[in-house]
Amino acid sequence: MTENIPREVVIIADDIRSMRIRGAGRIARAGAEALKKAAQLYQGPSSDFRKYMERVASLIVSTRPTAVSLPNAVSYVMRALEAEGDLREMVEAVVRRADEFIESSLKAVRRIGVIGARRIMDGDVILTHCHSTAAVQVIVTAHRMGKKIRVFSTETRPKFQGRITYRALREAGVDVTQIPDSAVRSAMKMVDRVVVGADTVTSDGAVVNKVGTSQVALAAHEARVRVFVAAETYKFSPASAAGVPVIIEERDPSEIVSREWLEKHKGIRVYNPAFDVTPPEYIDAIVTEIGVIPPKAAIMVLKERFGELKPPDRLVLAARDHDEAGVYY
């Protein structure tokens, strides 16, 4: 699959797959960057350029199956090839659209920070799960506005992305306490608001996010704590409106237990889903760069962002085709 694809581009794909580059927004920007690099490094004839870029696009989209931000970013950049032009013009168009995506994505995160921070009250205790740049932006912006807040940040096993959140909030001067995932229900008694990110928002307003999010939402629901999701609009899934299910990525058992342990205890099965689904009933609002919406308004965002809902893009579908064995939502 990687034949004749430049090494720099294959490295980005590997980094996304192995989660050295992670986070739904970051992988989307890295995907756009990979397409840009691929275009700039292309050395073949102009007649083969489109085919070559499609192979690169498929490689990028195949790296992780759940976050729709990735195929949405790739589709956005690949639209550059719909216009006629010579090779130089096509390369320029890809570079332009990749830069456009990256810039607007970073801007969206900043905007979400401002909009979301308005929903954080002085004195709030916030709970967050995993590491979401958008959720952290909301919390840090509220802190910079002078609101006195305290944060509980879950560890987020098995990959401990919660430690990234902990460090980011500490560095920003936020009062943050790390808790094991299993302490969420106990801690919820002290919490006023939950703020988490999203990998995919479906047309019915369900939020696919790091595994454990739905338990956080359930505990919040029980304790009557409001749940906010911070998500850029490119995390909304046009394919879901056409009935295409979201694949929940299952990762290697070695993220849970060591290979040696597995070797020693032959036959033991490990289930390691990377994401889960929080139904819209457990979410109070989704904070996007175009405003705060109730989850049930997700379909409106999809119409606004992707126009009339036509059958989903081939690349979005391709992302959902490569793992038949997964769990679907």
Cβ at position 41, least distance to ligand RI2 in Å: 26
H-assigned helices in 118-202: 133-144, 162-171, 184-187
Instruction: Considering the complex, state which of residue 35 and residue 198 has its C-beta at the smaller distance from ligand RI2.
Output: 198
- Per CB under 6 A, 75 contacts ligand RI2: no
- Per CB under 6 A, 31 contacts ligand RI2: no
- Per CB under 6 A, 134 contacts ligand RI2: yes
From the list 126-134, 186-194, 289-297, 319-327, the region that binds ligand RI2 by CB under 6 A is 126-134
Residues belonging to the chain: 329
130 flagged as catalytic: yes
- 199 to 228, contacts with ligand RI2 by CB under 6 A? 199, 209-210
- Per CB under 6 A, 22 contacts ligand RI2: yes
Number of residues that bind ligand RI2 (CB under 6 A): 16
Tokens of 280: 């819209």
199 flagged as catalytic: yes
Instruction: Considering the complex, state which of residue 139 and residue 225 has its C-beta at the smaller distance from ligand RI2.
Output: 139
Cβ at position 253, least distance to ligand RI2 in Å: 17
- Per CB under 6 A, 197 contacts ligand RI2: yes
- Per CB under 6 A, 133 contacts ligand RI2: yes
Spatial distance between the Cα atoms of 235 and 237, rounded to a whole number of angstroms = 6
H-assigned helices in the chain: 7-17, 24-41, 49-61, 69-78, 87-117, 133-144, 162-171, 184-187, 213-222, 238-241, 259-264, 298-306, 314-319
Selected from 130, 201, 239, 277, the binder of ligand RI2 by CB under 6 A is 130
3-state helix, strand, coil in the chain (%, to 5): 50, 15, 35
Spatial distance between the Cα atoms of 130 and 229, rounded to a whole number of angstroms = 13
Instruction: Considering the complex, state which of residue 37 and residue 64 has its C-beta at the smaller distance from ligand RI2.
Output: 64
Task: Tell me the residue type at 214.
Answer: S
- Per CB under 6 A, 153 contacts ligand RI2: no
Q: In this structure, how many other beta carbons lie within 10 angstroms of the beta carbon of residue 2?
A: 13
Cβ at position 301, least distance to ligand RI2 in Å: 16
Instruction: Considering the complex, state which of residue 199 and residue 284 has its C-beta at the smaller distance from ligand RI2.
Output: 199
Selected from 25, 71, 113, 238, the binder of ligand RI2 by CB under 6 A is 25
Spatial distance between the Cα atoms of 31 and 24, rounded to a whole number of angstroms = 11
- Per CB under 6 A, 276 contacts ligand RI2: no
Catalytic, out of 130, 276, 284, 313: 130
**Phi, psi for residue 272 in degrees, rounded to 5:** -130, 70
Tokens of 110: 């900043």
Closest among 208, 202, 238, 232 to 313, alpha carbons compared: 238
For the chain, the distance separating the N- and C-terminal CA atoms, rounded to the nearest angstrom, is: 28
Q: Please compute, for residue 311, the number of CA atoms within 13 A of its CA located in the half-sphere on the CB side.
A: 4
Spatial distance between the Cα atoms of 27 and 34, rounded to a whole number of angstroms = 10
Selected from 24, 81, 127, 207, the binder of ligand RI2 by CB under 6 A is 24
- Per CB under 6 A, 250 contacts ligand RI2: no
Q: β-strand 175-179 against 150-154: which pairing, if any?
A: parallel
Cβ at position 210, least distance to ligand RI2 in Å: 3
Catalytic, out of 124, 199, 276, 313: 199
Instruction: Considering the complex, state which of residue 263 and residue 271 has its C-beta at the smaller distance from ligand RI2.
Output: 271
Residues tagged active-site: 130, 199
Question: Binding residues for ligand RI2, per CB under 6 A?
Answer: 22-26, 130, 132-134, 161, 197-199, 209-210, 274
